[in-house]
Structure 1
Amino acid sequence: MQNHTDQFFVLTGGPGSGKTTLIEALAGEGYATAPEAGRNIIQDQMTVGGSALPWGDKALFAELMLAWELRSHHTASRLAGPVFFDRGVPDTLAYLRLSGLSVPAHMEKAAEHFRYNRRVFIAPPWPEIFTQDAERKQDLEEAERTFAALADTYPCYGYELITLPRAPIKERLAFIFEELDS
């Protein structure tokens, strides 16, 4: 497999922190993006009456998230230029830890093998924009715990976290572009 991982940029953070809006803005600027696994899996599972949900079979939900992230990684390896991911493989491991579940060896191996740029953008909890919906049932407290789990997990795999500012989308975009130029 070709190594393009220096061009793979992860945007992570707890739910309701504005990262998906930022990913959509990056796509609007013409950048390749990979959508979030969790929300899409939840929508699919709800449509088909499946149990792989965060409020159902958490381990199965994590397996589907991992499969989604690996597919996104493979798809991105065929693209030129930077690709921005709405979450990455280590998010799945953080989810399992947050849920009190053990991380299977194959997921540890996936986090070690399927790499991204060492600089990972993390969106902090942002109470002013946080909302719940049909797929996002977590409350703000769980969003904060998710952020903490992510902040603990990514460095374990050699990533440097860059905290995104709580700022309007144009300022967040400018921040990312400035970081990429440094």
Structure 2
Amino acid sequence: MISGCSGGGKSTLLSELERRGYAVVAEPGRRIIAEARAGDGRTLPWIDAAAFARRALEMSVSDFEAARGLTFFDRGVVDAAVAIVATGGDYPAPVIDSIRYDRVFLAPPWPEIYVNDEDRRHSLDKALQDYGRVQQAYLNAEYAPIMLPRDTVSARADFVLSQLRV
């Protein structure tokens, strides 16, 4: 699991791991946005954040169940749970307890590389608030997150693989 701060280089790291031949699963959020734009648009996070969060949980569960062998995920069920709670929903404890990732890596806030785009509309301040909630949620779910270094993409990929002894 690669989670952490929005705009912290997670997707870029996953692309490097994929380039090296590893299985990766793209972030549910960006896939949901693409799905919503192709459909009725109701699950866009800036239209219906609660529906977006629920769809992220569904997608994360499906992603986990479909994975075979060593797979790197860009966000997952814990991240979706944080979003669900932030929108007033109940924490999905049974899902968090039943879907367990072998290791969790957190991308720390990295203001120097943070950029907004068509899909990432929130401010860096909002990303920092969300990061605090995500970090705490992984700790509450009894993970021992490993902090990713602020380094080149290649060095970050090397670091992740060295932690897994791959």
Query: Do the two structures share a fold, i.e. TM-score over 0.5?
Result: yes
Partner in structure 1 of residue 88 of structure 2: 101
Question: Which residue of 60, 75, 80 corresponds with 1:92?
Answer: 80
The 8 Å contact of residues 95 and 149 in structure 1, kept in 2 or not, is answered as no
* 1-structure distance, mates of 2:59, 2:81: 14
Question: Which residue of 6, 24, 27 corresponds with 1:33?
Answer: 24
Partner in structure 1 of residue 148 of structure 2: 164
* 1-structure distance, mates of 2:74, 2:45: 18
* Matched AA of 1:163: M
Where 1:84 maps in the other structure, the secondary structure is strand
* 1-structure distance, mates of 2:120, 2:38: 16
Partner in structure 1 of residue 104 of structure 2: 120
- Paired residues for 1:31-70 under 5 Å: 31-70=22-61
Unaligned runs of 5+ in 1: 1-9
Query: C-alpha deviations, 1:52-108, integer Å up to 9, x for none?
Result: 1211211111111111111101110xx23x1100111000111233x352325xx22
The 8 Å contact of residues 50 and 89 in structure 2, kept in 1 or not, is answered as no
Unaligned runs of 5+ in 2: none
Where 1:56 maps in the other structure, the secondary structure is coil
* Matched AA of 1:18: G
Where 1:160 maps in the other structure, the secondary structure is coil
Q: Give structure 1 regions of 4+ aligned residues with deviation exceeding 3 angstroms.
A: none
Partner in structure 1 of residue 118 of structure 2: 134
* 2-structure distance, mates of 1:24, 1:59: 28
* 2-structure distance, mates of 1:14, 1:36: 13
Give 1:152 deviation, angstroms.
0.6
* 2-structure distance, mates of 1:95, 1:149: 9
What is the aligned length?
166
* 1-structure distance, mates of 2:93, 2:89: 11
- Percent identity, aligned pairs only? 34
The 8 Å contact of residues 130 and 140 in structure 1, kept in 2 or not, is answered as yes
